[in-house]
Structure 1
């Protein structure tokens, strides 16, 4: 059963990581109520089955001993439309989640009807949830907005592109040689998917801004990677590096 998106009063998104081993295995529940001026939001993120591991094993994987996260607060109303649109275009299964895990949805409308279902477009819901959680991290000051720097150095010309991705506002600020504009949210999200797909060789990365001809990216941690040398496709069937170059060149020259 599909409730009318315009009648929705609350959506709960429950995610289970399934067969993923600890310390990565986790569950989260997002409770989102639609208010007049904001989305009243609760997040409970809990890592599971860590009692099987030693403290050292958890720390060696880059985690801390307390990675659970809880939030209650207001998220900007700009998130309402994409969430309701996602709900409206989703198809549903009446089956429960299997061992692979995934997302299940509870939806409630203003008439009091409640529907529990599993979306067939799992990846879309997982992507939305991760973006929404990133917005929560910004609002709670757990993390700053994502910043990327890209440098195109030619013989007689240098173009510097700075991206600031504000998940809390679904807004992207792009600066090209100091000139500030706003970039398209969905296009930038596509570009980010290319940025974080390749492998980055930190053995070849430089902390100083490169001075030789080429294209370079700093993913926000202060290390410059040269495109084509320190940034390598991990899948031979998909050239993410070229897609990334095209995306930044489009931002620079259009």
Structure 2
């Protein structure tokens, strides 16, 4: 039974990574209640099946001894509309439970006490929204700082710098172009940053110091600079993400 989106009072997002092996395998749950001036939020993340791995094996993949997360708190109301809009636009499976491949299932409860449980057909969109909500929680709890991606274009005559800071907690991207700061459209910047994480980056060629030689460079948020044409490589031959990144930042630099 699909509930009327305007009447939804509470939403639960359950995720299971399915057949993904440890130490990557995990589950998370987001419990969201829409209040008058904030969204009451509970978030738990549990990494699974790690008993069969040594601590050395876990750390070799970039994890720690305990990566589980627990959060209870408030996130801004600016998140209500995108969550409700996605629910209203979603088409649903006839299934009620996940299979061995995992995925996301949704429980919704409305102001009348009616409850709906189902699996969204647009799994990737719900997973993306969930990851953005988790990032907002990390910012609110000060577990992580807002993500900043920097782009540098150096030629013989000029140096153009551009930085996008994605403030997930308030759904606002802050754009800094040659020391001039403005706010930009969330969807526009989210699409651009989506391209940023598609290529492969050769970290052996990256540098911590800001480049000075001619070329185009990107810092994906970890303080390391990668040069286009040298250390940024498309993984999918059918989609040129590298060009999309350069075109997107070049367009912003012209503003």
TM-score (norm 2): 0.98
- 1:73 — aligned with what? 73
Q: Which runs of 5+ in 2 are unaligned?
A: none
Question: In the alignment, what sits opposite 2:8?
Answer: 8
Aligned residues, how many? 254
Q: Does 1:49 align with 2:49?
A: yes
Residue 35 of structure 1 is matched in structure 2 by 35
In the aligned structure 2, how far is the partner of 1:41 from the partner of 1:221? 28
Name the structure 1 match of 2:188.
187
> 1:138 — aligned with what?
139
RMSD, aligned CA: 0.8
- The 5-angstrom pairing of residues 52-201 of structure 1 reads 52-95=52-95, 96-201=97-202
- Tell me, yes or no, if structure 1 residue 205 matches structure 2 residue 218: no
Classify the secondary structure of the residue corresponding to 2:119: strand
Give the stretch that moved more between structures: 95-104 or 205-214.
Answer: 205-214
Instruction: Give 1:157 shift.
Output: 1.1
Aligned-partner Cα distance in 1 for 2:243–2:109: 44
Q: Shift of residue 53 of structure 1?
A: 1.1
- Structure 1 length-normalised TM: 0.98
Q: Would you identify which runs of 4 or more consecutive aligned residues in structure 1 move more than 6 Å?
A: none
- Cα distance in 2 between the residues matched to 1:30 and 1:199: 31
Tell me, what secondary structure is at the counterpart of 1:186? Answer: helix
